[in-house]
Amino acid sequence: MPVHKLPLREAVWLVFSKDLLCEFRNRYAISALIMFALVTLSSISMTIGAVMLSDELTAVLLWIIIFFCAMAGLSRAFVQEQEAGTLFTLQIYLQSQAVIFGKMLFNIVLLMGLTVFIILLFILFLNVDFSLWKIFFVILVCGDIGIGAVATLTAAMVARAQGQHCLFTVLTFPILLPQFLGAIHATATVLGGNMPSVSQFIFMAGYDAVIISGSYILFEYLWYD
């Protein structure tokens, strides 16, 4: 008897809602992300004291912290399905694209919430003045979408592998490096009170589009093989 699969939009929302509910029950990713950000920034603040950081160094620190927080909390996107034994059920009732987009949406939303928390910590601990908020917000959104999308795809790649946490970071960083460098450069420009070039925004948005499109194509092979 053929199995009726839900429409894509409804299925994406279902996966996102399930992951959100599971996260609020066990709070694994949220706790790991918040504690890493808090410990890292408080350590940096106590180390540098009252020294004012340059715009370039502030931008590097911001994105390094966001990246490693993501590595600490987003690697379990598919591990929890394996542990709970729900992989086969999802394969039967949902399209592969619904699974990847639902989990990607959850990771991006989680990362954006973390980014807001990190920005507040930067203001509190390092006394950083973020100017040009609207432009800065666009940079953060583009960067977070890139990190969340790549992290979701690589988490699917290493879900069944031994030493998955090490592999996750090793695979994610080189794929993410172009967007990572672009986000750092654009952030440093904004912190200096200047407007990034249009080409920088086009590159960041194009990178996100390519990663999301690639995930749409590649994930079906990862999901069923």
Domain ranges of the chain: 8-224
Residue 2: band (very low, low, confident or very high) from pLDDT cuts 50, 70, 90: very low
- Count of CB atoms within 10 A of residue 146's CB? 26
Angle between helices 8-26 and 96-126 (to 10 degrees): 50
Helix (H), strand (E), coil (C) string for the chain = CCCCCCCHHHHHHHHHHHHHHHHHHHCHHHHHHHHHHHHHHHHHHHHHCCCCCCHHHHHHHHHHHHHHHHHHHCCCCCHHHHHHCCHHHHHHHCCHHHHHHHHHHHHHHHHHHHHHHHHHHHHHHHCCCCCCHHHHHHHHHHHHHHHHHHHHHHHHHHCCCCCHHHHHHHHHHHHHHHHHHHHHHHHHHHHCCCCCCHHHHHHHHHHHHHHHHHHHHHHHHHHHC
Q: What is the pTM of this model?
A: 0.87
46 band by pLDDT with thresholds 50, 70 and 90: confident
**Can you give the pLDDT at residue 144?**
93
Q: Poorest-confidence range of 94-98, 100-104, 147-151?
A: 94-98
- Please write the tens of the pLDDT for every residue from 25-35: 777 667 777 88
Mean pLDDT of 122-129: 80
Residue 1 scores a pLDDT above 50: no
166-211 pLDDT, tens digit each? 778 888 889 999 999 999 999 999 988 889 989 999 999 999 999 9
pLDDT tops 70 at residue 5: no
Per-residue pLDDT at 14 exceeds 80: yes
Segment 129-135 mean pLDDT? 83
Listed residue (56, 39, 1, 37) closest to 181, CA to CA: 56
